[in-house]
Amino acid sequence: MQIVAQVLVRAHAQQEGSQLVPEISQVAMDGKAMRGTWSQVQKEREQQHVEAQKQEKQEPAEKPQPTRQKKGERPAEAPPSPMPQAEEEETRGHPRVHLLSLSECHSGIVLAQRSVGRKTTEISAAAALMHPALVKDRLISADALHTQTNWCAAVTAFGGDDLLFAKGNQPTRFQELHDFFADPEPERDEWRHARQVSKGHGRLEIRQIWTSTQMNDWFEPQWAGIQQVFCVQRQVSSQGKTREETVDGFTSLSRQRANAARLLAPIQAHWKVENRLHWRRDVSPGEDACQVRSAGAPQTLAALNGALLGLMGSLGVRNVPKQMRYFDAHPSAMISWLCHRLSP
């Protein structure tokens, strides 16, 4: 999968041209639950429950007569308690599938992915994705779950940069950043501010960011390579309703490489992973509805879906479902189209 991803990344860069390739190559780490593998278990359990109820209605209910325990007789053993759902799935050889992936934000190409096992978490799976070939010279953004000192140190050691958010899983960092940006008394001459407004599809979004380097020395002993902290405020108005959100975080990108206005772009790109990658995989190839659960099959299909969308994107296809329907009806046209597009 990584070989295919590298080929697509290079082809995409050559097609776009060096002047259009962003100077900061950003890769987003995000987890995805393949709901098709989860809902199938629930359907099986519901079907068994319905069949059991039908059987109870058909057979006359007989109340068991209480039996007295004779002297010296061992008490009857209680029926075994049912296994937890996740454990039952593992026993039957059909585990629920949860994937953690590294995807390039600019092209949407999935560079690598790891399956999160039942007895592991995304944090341990993320450690397996920390490889110099995937991290070096890239900006790695991740959800607040991965705001961990070891993860941050690994990215810095492998020659990459990080973009992390502080939330409840790091209460101390979260409170420190919140108090810093909420304090009206600190010297704000050093702060930088930027504002962006976007409008479309009946929705108005205003994004503001404040950055500072005053907290670098405070965080540096534990968080390797930190260069600036930030506070982002989002105000979204749609259908007469307005919601606001404030997110704090920090990054190893210096101000020389990413000022306040430019730092908004990778933050927004990370938040768009859900729509650019996960939603497209659920809708176009129908990944969310797929109930294939044989060992290794969901992971393989997810890799193929990611490669398909990456290939379509690198070839300039905007409507993937329409193109897929056409190729389903004209397989020979697909081969000639690919040969023509991929030829130098």
Does residue 308 surpass a pLDDT of 70? yes
Q: Give dist(CA 159, CA 255) in Å, integer.
A: 18
For residue 336, is it within any domain? Answer: no
Q: Which phi and psi (to 5°) does residue 119 adopt?
A: -100, 15
Q: What is the pLDDT of residues 86-99, one digit of tens each?
A: 444 444 445 567 88
Contact 89, 106 (CB under 8 A): no
The residue among 190 and 67 whose pLDDT is bigger is: 190
For residue 52, is it within any domain? Answer: no
Residue 172 in tokens = 């101390």
Of the listed ranges 67-71, 153-157, 192-196, 253-257, the least confidently predicted one is 67-71
Q: What is the domain range of residue 302?
A: 2-10+23-37+94-329
- At 279, which CATH number? 3.90.350
Label the pairing between strands 98-104 and 26-33. Answer: antiparallel
| pLDDT value at residue 300 | 77
Question: pTM for the full model?
Answer: 0.69
For residue 213, is it within any domain? Answer: yes
Q: Which amino acid is at 91?
A: T
Q: Average pLDDT in the 178-195 region? A: 88
Number of alpha carbons in the 13 Å side-chain half-sphere of residue 173: 24
Number of domains in the chain: 1
Per-residue pLDDT band for 23 (boundaries 50, 70, 90) equals low
For residue 82, is it within any domain? Answer: no
The residue among 58 and 64 whose pLDDT is bigger is: 58
Listed ranges 174-188, 244-258, 325-339; the one with the highest mean pLDDT: 244-258
Question: DSSP states of 217-239 as a string?
Answer: HHHTTTSTT--EEEEEEEEEEET
Contact 320, 280 (CB under 8 A): yes
Of the listed ranges 129-133, 171-175, 200-204, 223-227, the least confidently predicted one is 200-204
For residue 136, is it within any domain? Answer: yes
| pLDDT value at residue 197 | 92
Q: Which phi and psi (to 5°) does residue 150 adopt?
A: -65, -40
Q: What is the pLDDT of residues 131-185, one digit of tens each?
A: 899 999 999 999 888 999 999 999 999 999 999 999 888 899 899 999 999 888 7
| pLDDT value at residue 83 | 45
Contact 284, 324 (CB under 8 A): yes
Does residue 66 surpass a pLDDT of 60? no
Residues 71, 74, 80, 81, Cα dihedral to 10°: 50
| pLDDT value at residue 78 | 47
Beta-bridge mates of residue 194 = 209
Per-residue pLDDT band for 80 (boundaries 50, 70, 90) equals very low
Does residue 192 surpass a pLDDT of 90? yes
Contact 236, 222 (CB under 8 A): no
Average confidence score pLDDT of the chain: 77
For residue 53, is it within any domain? Answer: no
